[in-house]
A and B are shown apart, each in its own frame.
Chain A
Amino acid sequence: MEHQVQDVAEAAHGEAPHAAGMPQLDFSSWPNQIFWLLVALVAIYLLLTRVALPRIGSVLSERRGAITNDLLAAEELKQKAKDAETAYEAALAKARAEAQGIAADARAATDADLADAIARADAEIAARVAVSETRIGEMRAGMQQSVTEVATDTAAALVAALGGRSDGIDAAVASHVKV
C-alpha cells in the first residue's frame, strides 16, 4: 500500500518520492530495519567484548596499579627524605658541639699560655725590681758613706782649723748625717 501511494506521488510530482504520513509506521520496512539492527548490535557486541572492553578494563586497572605504586614509592621516598633530614640534623648538632669543644679547648690553652706568660713576666719584673733595689741600696749606702766621709773630713778640717780636738768628730758627724 505505502509503495503504491509513494509511486502515485512520484508520478504526480515527477521527482523523488515523498513520505506519506510517518515512514516510521510503514511496517513493510520493519523486517529490514530489525534485521540490520540485529546485525549491527551483534557486531558492536563482538567488537566490544572481544577487543575494546577487555583492553580498556586492563588499561584502567593498570593505571590504578601504577598510581598506587607511585604513591607508595612517593611515600617511601618521603620517609627517606625525612630520615636523611634527621641524620643531617644530628650531624649538624654533633659538629656544632665539636666546634664548641674545640673552641673551648683553644680558649683554655690560650688562657693557660697567657697566664704562664704573665707569670713569667711578673717574675722577671720582680727579679729586675730586686736587682734595681739592691743597686739602689748599694748606691744609697755608698752615697751615705761618701757623705759621712766628706762631712767627717770637712768637720775635721774645720775643727783643726779652729784648733779643737779631733776626737768625737766621727760620732758627732754620724749623729748629724742621716740619710
Chain B
Amino acid sequence: METETAAGGFAIHPMDQFIVRPLFSDGPVQWYTVTNVTLWLALAVLCVAALMIFGTRRRALVPSRSQSMAEMAYGLVHNMVEEVTGPEGVKYFPYVMTLFMFILFANLLGLIPASFTTTSHVAVTVTLALMVFVGVTVLGFVRKGPGFLKMFWVESAPLPVRPVLAIIELISYFVRPVSHSIRLAGNLMAGHAVIKVFAGFATMAILSPVAIGAVTVIYGLETLVAVVQAYVFTILTCVYLRDAVADNHH
C-alpha cells in the first residue's frame, strides 16, 4: 500500500475513511446502491430536520435553546443573502439556506469518529458548486439577457485594457466552481486525513501522548474549519448570486 508509512510497524490508512462502501452487500457500487454515503447524507437530513423543525416545534415567543439556534442559523443566512446579494436576492434565500444547512451538518457529522464525511468528496462538492454555477449563469441570462455578459466588460477600465480584462474575468468566472468545490472538499479531506495519521501514530506507546494531544488540537481546529467552510461556501454562493441578481456595479 502506498499509504503505509516506511516505519514498518504502523498500518496507517488515512484515506480509508473516504471509501464509498455498500451498506448491505459487497457488490459494486451502482448509482442507486445504498452506501455509507446514503447513510450519512440521511443523517445530515435528519439533523437539519431535528434542528429546524423539531427544534422549533413550540414556536415560542421566547425561544428555547434549540429554537434560538435554528433562528440564529436563519438570521445568519438571511442577513448574508440580504447584505451580500441585495434585496433582490432574498427570494433565493431558501436555496442558499438549503446549501448552508446541508454543508454545515455534513461537516459536523463528519467530525464524529468513524463517520463518513460526505462533503470531503469532490463528487459532492463539485455537484454543489456546479449547481451554484449553472444556477447563477442561467439566472443571470434569464434576468438580464445578453446584458449579463456586461460583467466581463469592465466599464471602469481604459478601453485598450478591456479585452484583456474580459479574458481574465471570463477565466476567473469559469474557475469559480473549481475553487468553490475544491476549497470545501480539500479542507475537510486534509483535516480528516491528518487526524487519522496522528491517530495511527498513537499506536506507538512513546508517541501516543503527543499523538493524542495533536489529535485533540486538530479536532478543535477541524470543528472550526467545519463551520467556517460551510459559512465560506455560503457567502461565496451569495457573492456569485449577486452577479446574476444585482445591478452591474462591482
Contact = CB atoms under 8 A, between A and B. Distances in A.
B45 A53 contact: no
A146 interface: no
Given A32-B35, A38-B127, A52-B53, A18 B18 contact: no
Given A19-B3, A21-B2, A48-B48, 12 more contacts: A24-B120, A24-B123, A28-B29, A29-B37, A29-B123, A33-B118, A36-B35, A43-B45, A44-B48, A44-B102, A53-B52, A63-B61
Contacts of A55: 53, 56, 59
A31 B31 contact: yes
A119 to B, nearest CB: 81
Given A18-B3, A40-B102, A56-B74, A33 B20 contact: yes
19 contacts: A3-B28, A18-B13, A23-B20, A29-B37, A30-B123, A32-B20, A32-B30, A33-B121, A33-B124, A36-B37, A39-B41, A44-B98, A44-B101, A47-B48, A48-B94, A49-B94, A51-B53, A53-B74, A55-B59
A60 B74 contact: yes
Contact of B42 (A25, A38, A40): A40
Contacts, number: 145
Given A18-B3, A32-B37, A40 B44 contact: yes
Contact of A45 (B59, B75, B98, B118): B98
A53 B97 contact: yes
Contacts of B2: 20-21
A56 B56 contact: yes
Contacts of B206: none
Given A3-B28, A47-B53, A29 B94 contact: no
A160 interface: no
B15 interface: yes
Interface of A: 3, 9, 16-26, 28-41, 43-45, 47-49, 51-53, 55-60, 62-63, 66
Interface residues of B, number: 54
B61 A66 contact: yes
B203 to A, nearest CB: 16
Nearest to A58: B59
Nearest to A31: B31
Contacts of A47: 45, 48-49, 52-53
B26 to A, nearest CB: 10
Contacts of A62: 61
Contacts of B41: 36-37, 39-40
Nearest to B74: A56
B46 to A, nearest CB: 10
Q: Which of B13, B98, B124 has the most CB of A within 10 A?
A: B98
A65 to B, nearest CB: 10
A45 B95 contact: yes
Nearest to A22: B15
Interface string B84-105: 0000000001110111011000
B71 A19 contact: no
Q: Which of A23, A26, A40, A49 has the most CB of B within 10 A?
A: A40
